Every structure is written in structure tokens, then in C-alpha cells.
Structure 1
Amino acid sequence: MRRSVISGLSAALVLTSAGVGGALLAPAASAAPASPALTTGVADGTYVSLKPTRMLDTRGSYLGRPLNAGEVYNLKVNGRGGVPSTGVSAVVLNMTVTAPTRAGNIVVYPKGSAVPNASSLNFVAKDTRANLVTVPVSSDGWVSIRNATGQTHVIADVQGYYVGSTTTKPAGAVDYFPDDPWRALDTRTAQDGPALAANDYLIQSVSYGANTANISALAVNVTAVNPQWTGFLNAWNGDENAIPNTSNLNFASRKTTSNMVIVPVTHGVGSDGTTPVLNFGIGNASPGTVDVIVDVVGVYATGDGLRFRSVGAPKRIVDTRTSLGATTLDAATTRTVTAPSTVTNSTTVALVTNATAVSPTAATYLTLWQTGVTRSAASNLNPAAGQTVANMAMVGLSDINQFDIYNNAGRTNVIVDVAGRMDLSPNLASGAAPSLSTRTAPKALGSRVATLR
């Protein structure tokens, strides 16, 4: 089955080795298949991880003031922060808003497109909140950021990019391999605890057995649980001499908050001296303790897996407030969504989405996953009662393009906007099922005190 890639690592195809830029616009309204034969050197849709780099902070010299209601800021991304000048399909940005004057949202989309009926990040007044966004770039390498209401400062940190139409694969370019969501870190447990102390970090190691050496990044959902103070977490490749001056997840005191991260890794050997491991770091930049959960949903690795394909500006496929795609979810309720042909084709295996919980009546969590597969214990969204919270989700599709949404408690509306799709590599014969095998999660290497900037 062409989508068994999502159903787990046992599906089994072994990996093969193989300055300021911005402009402001005026306000605007089973068994392993045989290894596939390589057909071309096409590299489009592969992913390149970058050291997180700040591309925009409206509090500083980029603009020096917040975005006003309806304003659009055009941000040049090509040729900056490690993103090449050409050959880019989309960029992955960690978007943060801070000090908004009222509840609202921002949307990020390719420059030159009409403002889409979608949102990239939702927030309330005086909030500081982040969300990972995958956004196609315009033909000249720009994206647009629009603030819907009030005023808010906006920060954009680039995490990586997807390669455009080219036969030359850049150094470090890799394919995406989904995984059954699994928990790689939970500081609430005896194995991974205790909670991260103020201005502390830990280095965590995990292993995918023989495939470990081929992996360059992990797609993870990071959750800050019961933070004692307002602050942020950052995630990086675990190099203790190169902690980036960026953030991935912003949280308020006592508020459980999640955000998707594509975190690059470094390679090492486990405490037994032989097991190959992947290392990544998680840092707590706050004056209080915070528990941290990291759920792995996939990996980026050499070999033929899934490639990113743009769907243009974000497309809304679910809005339960209007019964688009699904209806409002009650407690312990699952809704099944059929993804339309506007965001899928015959080789689509997963969608890159922005999922939003709208004003749940109770604190809850939501999970999105492939229809027909057992729901995992991992969550995608952890909103408190009354919050409107968004998070990026890589969502697998069944053979008839369906996925499920589960709400744990209370009653909530849900919005799903599609930023792109994940299709089978053109080097794979139709019906092949790429995946990995043999994962373990060794104990964390430990935490060391560090002052995060």
C-alpha cells in the first residue's frame, strides 16, 4: 500500500546511502519491496537543515515598530541565513509574535499571492507565542507576513529550506521519512528527569540502529509542561559550543505549550561505547523550572522517501465552525477528514499542515493522524480552556486521503490549513513504502548548566 510508510517503522524500506531584507506594504483588506531503481538526479522537494538564524525582529532595526492591523511585511529569505539565492521551493520559519495589543493572527504566504483564508499563528493580547511555519517562496525569493488585527511585533527564525526544481542536490539535502509518533524525552519520568532548571539545558541521544548514520534531522513536537515562569525553549543539534541565539517555543507561567521543531542532530556513540546515536539539545531560557516532552514524528535522512511539494498559498480544508471538512468536536471525539484533490495527488502520503484549536471549553489535547492507524499517545496541540492555539502537524493520509482528529476534553472547534504535501520521491516506483527500522531511545546524556542568551 503506498501509504504504509505512515504505519510504522516495520513497513521497511532500508535507507540508501547516498543583512536586512524586508519591505512593508500599505494596509490591505508488509514485506520490504525491492530497492527502487534510480531514474533521475532530480532533487526538488528534498530538505536542507540550517543553523537557526534570525531573519526578522520588528523590535529592532528591521522595522523598529510593531506591524499594524492589515499591514503586510515582505521578507526576503533567499540569499540570507544559509538559504541559497536560487533553487528554493519553500522555507521553514519559526514565527513568533510578542506584545500584541489584541487577540488576532498572522499569516505567512508567498509574496505576490492574494492574502489566503488561513492563519499561521494565533494569539491573544499581550501574548508571546511561536509556531513553526512551512511557506513557499515567490519566484524572486520572498514571503509575505500579514497581521490581521491590532499591533504586534513579529520575529522570524529560519530553520531550513526545501529544494526547488533542480537536478543538482545541495550538500545536506535529504528526504522525509514519517515514523509512528514516539516519546524520545519526558523529564517527568525517572529516566529522563528531573525538570530543566532555570537557564539549564540537556543533551538527549536517540538511536535508529543501522540507519542512525543516515539521519540529519528529527521532526519533533516539543511540549513545555507546567513552567514555573514565563520564558522559552530552544532546540539545536546539541553542539554545546554553538547554542543558537533563537527560540523555538515560548511559554507563559503554568501554561502547557507545544510547538513543532525540525531539529538538526549531531552523531555520536552511546554510553556503551558502540551504539550509534543522534544528539540534540533542549535549553530552558527562563528563571524557573520546566518539564519537557519531545515526541518524534519523523526523520530527515539520505535515501528515497518523501519530498515536499508546494500547494501555493496555504489552503484551508477544515473549519468546524462552518462544518468545512468536519464538525465541532466534543470530548473524547474523533472526526475523520477527507483531504481534497486541491492538496493531494496519486503519490501524496502526508500533508504539512497548520492545525488550530479554537476556544475549547476545557483544557484539552488534540491529535491528528492517519485514518486506519491506531492513535498514538502523542499530541499535536495542548490548549487551555478558552485558548486559540495553532501548531504545525505532519499528518499522514490513508489510501483514500483521510486523516483523523481527536479531541480529549471539552468541546472545541478546529481549523486545518495545508502548507504543502509530502509525495513519494520520483525515484520510487508507485506503491513502494519507504520507512526506517530499529529505533531505540537511550537515556539522556545528561544536562549541564549554561546561560542561554
Structure 2
Amino acid sequence: MRTKTKAVGRAVAALTATALAIATPAPAAQAAPAADAPASQYTPTAPKRVLDTREGVGAPAKPLGAGATITLDLSAQVPATATSVVLNVTGIAGAAGTYVTAYPTGGTRPVVSNLNLDAGAVRPNAVTVKLGTNRSVDLYNFGGSTHLVADLAGYYQTGPGALYNPVTPYRLADTREAGGPLGPGGVLTVNMREQLPDTATAVVVNVTGIGGSVGTYVTAYPGGAARPTASTLNLAPGQVAPNLAVVQIGTDGTVRFYNNTGTVNLVVDLAGYYDPTFGAQFHAGDPYRLVDTRETNTPLGPKRYFPVDLSGTLPDATALVFNLTGTAPTAGTYLTAWPFSADLPIASNVNLAPRETAANLAVVSLDEAVKLGVYNQFGYVHVLVDVAGWFGPVGAPAAG
């Protein structure tokens, strides 16, 4: 079963891809390596800070230099049966433009990126990464020096846990349309029990901050719980930026979004949810680059899309976990990834200013033909797709 919600048949306003967009041939893709980690189920946790190089948490109290790597030991945070983790990784005040790569300790560093930073910027990105030696992951910094912060949101393990149910993205909340911007210390509460089965334990949401009056951060956390020392989204004044969040549903059936300072609008799009009673298991793999339009110098044009066909490499997959990066856009734009045969939803995965490079983790349902699409709204932009793993039915074989 791919999805199951209380909102079956819900009328979601959507744009029709065939009417407003033009198909672009799919960029050449690498063959997928086998997803060699065992099939796993998810255990959500309240966000917990496991790394802060400013404070000496999880690593020495100093920035990570150019070409340097931190090994983050998570053996005390997750059980011996854990196969991979979900982190929110934030880069802070880098001395130069750079990127950060997360990968299993003991493995070869892959040609992928998880976080892209301009000099001096503060930017987060969710990361799903397979655990390596001693249940650890490595974080590599390409250029300059930067501080890194990581918050643990949950983990996958071969033991008991929840299964994933992807949905075609739809909007849960938009403060521009209802409620107005959040003020300093303001909280947006979203009742998940109105949307999902009572047995759902966590949600995957894309959270976008829009037009903050000052620099601020946003924290997503379970309703009914104390607000943790963690951040989901970091925003400069006036910035439009998204971040994927995997958030445990609170004891009161809600998820909350806290704004620290100033005023800011928030948009929350649902990508899927976890439920211990039904759904798909996760297969982690070593990260690899599936798509890079720079290799063929074929940027994605305005109102154009391309399909990504996974039927040959992941025939049993129901959803793909990947880092979606846009780089060198000629205009401000956004990228949307969606199940290819479905209508193009009113949702975004990556928001880009002109000439900016930005990434966001995406967990996207695949259609019956095992395809997803990537759409660009304005200008021309290069697109990268870096795969972290996939979801498939219970008992599905690993990728070949």
C-alpha cells in the first residue's frame, strides 16, 4: 500500500504538468549501487543536539577546516541494530563558500553534497545517512572553515519501528493564507490527527520560511513536549528557504513550529508519514549521484521538467530519499519533485535566489511506473540528485 490517510479523496489544488510545463529529456544517470543495508524501520525521537563545534559537543570546540572531516560517534545515541540516522545538519558562518558531505564512517567519501553554504551564511539541511564503523558518520567540509551543528531526529533499525507511507505532497498550513505571520516566540500548531491515521507516529514535512523581518530560526517539535534546543530552519532577513523535517507526532496529536525572533510566514507541506501498522521499509545505501545536468550542460528551463526512471534499478521502490540541489539559476525560482504520473502539486522542495546554490532533502513517492519528476518554475537552473536510500514493501529485495 502506497498511502493511507483520513483525507482520501481530498481535493488538493494542483497544477497540471502537461498543461504548464514542457518535458525535457532526462539527464544521464549513473547505475545505482546495491542498497546493501538491511531493510529497516523508523524510530522517531525528540530532536537532540549531538554535534556543535562552537561548544565542543560531539567534537572539539573549533571550526572544521578546509578539506577536514569530523567523525560523529552515535553509538551512545542509537541501538546496535540501527542502520542509518536522520540528522539536521547546520553550517554556521563559513569563511568561504563550501559544501558539506555526510557519509558512513569507514567508507570512501562519495561525490555528493548534503549542505551548500555561502561565506558567512547559516544554513541547515536534513540528512539521511547510513551508519558506518562503530555506528558513526563522517562530515567533510570542502573549503574554508565552518562550524557545524547536528541534531538527531530519529534512526532506522532492523528491529521494531514504523513503516513509511509517502503521499503526493499537499499543503498542511500557509500562514500567508490563514493566521498571519508568526511573531517572536510564536508557535504554529498543526493537528496531524485530522490528516492521518491515529496510529501514525511521525511526519515528513517540508517547512518553508518566507520574508522574515529579521534573522531567525524555526524549531519543529512534538506537541505536548518541551521545546528542544534544536533548530529546523535558519533564515536571514527577507529570505525564502525550505528544509525537510522528520518530526515525531506529539502525545496531543500535533506538531509545533516555533519562531524565535521577528515575524515570519511559514508554509508546511506534507510528504509522508510513519506508521508501525503498515507501509514501506527503508533500504539505506552508500550515497551516490544519480543526476547532474552540468555534466551534459543541459540546465532545466522555465516551466520544464524531466522524469527520473528507476524501474530498471529499483523496481520495488515506492519512494526515493535524495538530496535535491539547484545551482546557478538565472532567476529566482523553485524546484518541485513529485510522483511523475500525478498532477504537479502546489508544493516546493528547493527555493533559489538568482545564482544561488541550495539543497534540500526530499522523500518523494514514486508512481506505478517507478518514476518521479523534477520541475523548474523560472529561468534556467542546473539540477543535482544525490540518492541516500529508498523505501519498498516489506520483504522487497535489495537493489541489484
TM-score bracket relative to the smaller structure: 0.7 to 0.9
Instruction: Provide closer, same or farther for how the CA distance between residues 427 and 412 of structure 1 changes in structure 2, counting only shifts above 3 A.
Output: closer
Unaligned runs of 5+ residues in structure 2 are: 10-37
Partners in 1 of 2:374 and 2:393 — Cα distance?
24
What's the counterpart of residue 318 of structure 1? Answer: 291
- Structure 1 position 201 matched with structure 2 position 187: yes
Amino acid at match of 1:45: S
How far apart are residue 182 of structure 1 and its match? 1.4
TM-score (norm 2): 0.87
Unaligned runs of 5+ residues in structure 1 are: 12-42, 269-277, 429-453
- Structure 1 position 232 matched with structure 2 position 217: yes
- In the alignment, is the contact (CA less than 8 A) between 2:311 and 2:369 conserved in 1? no
How far apart are residue 401 of structure 1 and its match? 3.1
What's the counterpart of residue 266 of structure 2? Answer: 292
Partners in 2 of 1:391 and 1:420 — Cα distance?
15
How far apart are residue 267 of structure 1 and its match? 4.2
What's the counterpart of residue 302 of structure 1? Answer: 276
Amino acid at match of 2:260: A
- In the alignment, is the contact (CA less than 8 A) between 2:210 and 2:239 conserved in 1? yes
Partners in 2 of 1:323 and 1:208 — Cα distance?
46
Partners in 2 of 1:267 and 1:232 — Cα distance?
24
What's the counterpart of residue 16 of structure 2? Answer: none
How far apart are residue 140 of structure 1 and its match? 1.9
What's the counterpart of residue 50 of structure 1? Answer: 45
Partners in 2 of 1:87 and 1:311 — Cα distance?
16
What's the counterpart of residue 72 of structure 1? Answer: 69
Instruction: Provide closer, same or farther for how the CA distance between residues 64 and 267 of structure 1 changes in structure 2, counting only shifts above 3 A.
Output: closer
Q: What is the aligned counterpart of 2:132 among 104, 128, 138?
A: 138
Partners in 2 of 1:208 and 1:323 — Cα distance?
46
Q: What is the aligned counterpart of 2:107 among 103, 113, 116?
A: 113
| Aligned positions of 1:8-87 closer than 5 A | 10=8, 44-61=39-56, 62-80=59-77, 83-84=78-79, 86-87=80-81
Amino acid at match of 2:66: A
Partners in 2 of 1:417 and 1:65 — Cα distance?
29
Partners in 1 of 2:300 and 2:6 — Cα distance?
27
What's the counterpart of residue 390 of structure 2? Answer: 421
Partners in 1 of 2:6 and 2:172 — Cα distance?
16
- In the alignment, is the contact (CA less than 8 A) between 2:316 and 2:396 conserved in 1? no
Amino acid at match of 2:300: L
How far apart are residue 204 of structure 1 and its match? 2.1
What's the counterpart of residue 174 of structure 1? Answer: 162
- In the alignment, is the contact (CA less than 8 A) between 2:341 and 2:367 conserved in 1? yes
Which digits, 9 at most, give the CA deviation of each residue in 1:150-188, with x for residues without a partner?
111011110000013xxx42xxx2100011211111111
Secondary structure of 1:140 counterpart: helix
| RMSD of equivalent CA atoms | 2.2
What's the counterpart of residue 283 of structure 1? Answer: 258
- In the alignment, is the contact (CA less than 8 A) between 1:104 and 1:150 conserved in 2? yes
Secondary structure of 1:373 counterpart: coil
| Aligned positions of 1:367-386 closer than 5 A | 367-386=336-355
Q: Which has the larger radius of gyration?
A: 1
Secondary structure of 2:198 counterpart: helix
Amino acid at match of 2:119: A
> For this pair of structures, how many residues does the alignment match?
367
Partners in 2 of 1:427 and 1:125 — Cα distance?
44
Q: What is the aligned counterpart of 2:199 among 207, 214, 228?
A: 214
Partners in 2 of 1:69 and 1:231 — Cα distance?
27
What's the counterpart of residue 439 of structure 1? Answer: none
Runs of 4+ in structure 1 deviating by more than 4 angstroms, as ranges, are 4-11
Partners in 1 of 2:365 and 2:374 — Cα distance?
12
How far apart are residue 139 of structure 1 and its match? 4.2
- In the alignment, is the contact (CA less than 8 A) between 1:6 and 1:396 conserved in 2? no
Which digits, 9 at most, give the CA deviation of each residue in 1:94-124, with x for residues without a partner?
0000010111100000001111000010110
| Aligned positions of 1:327-366 closer than 5 A | 327-339=298-310, 344-366=313-335
Secondary structure of 2:322 counterpart: strand
Secondary structure of 1:97 counterpart: strand
Instruction: Provide closer, same or farther for how the CA distance between residues 395 and 6 of structure 1 changes in structure 2, counting only shifts above 3 A.
Output: farther
Which digits, 9 at most, give the CA deviation of each residue in 1:363-389, with x for residues without a partner?
111101111111100110111111100
Instruction: Provide closer, same or farther for how the CA distance between residues 262 and 144 of structure 1 changes in structure 2, counting only shifts above 3 A.
Output: same
Instruction: Provide closer, same or farther for how the CA distance between residues 120 and 427 of structure 1 changes in structure 2, counting only shifts above 3 A.
Output: closer
Identity of aligned residues (%): 33
Which digits, 9 at most, give the CA deviation of each residue in 1:272-317, with x for residues without a partner?
xxxxxx311100012x1000010111111122211110122x1100
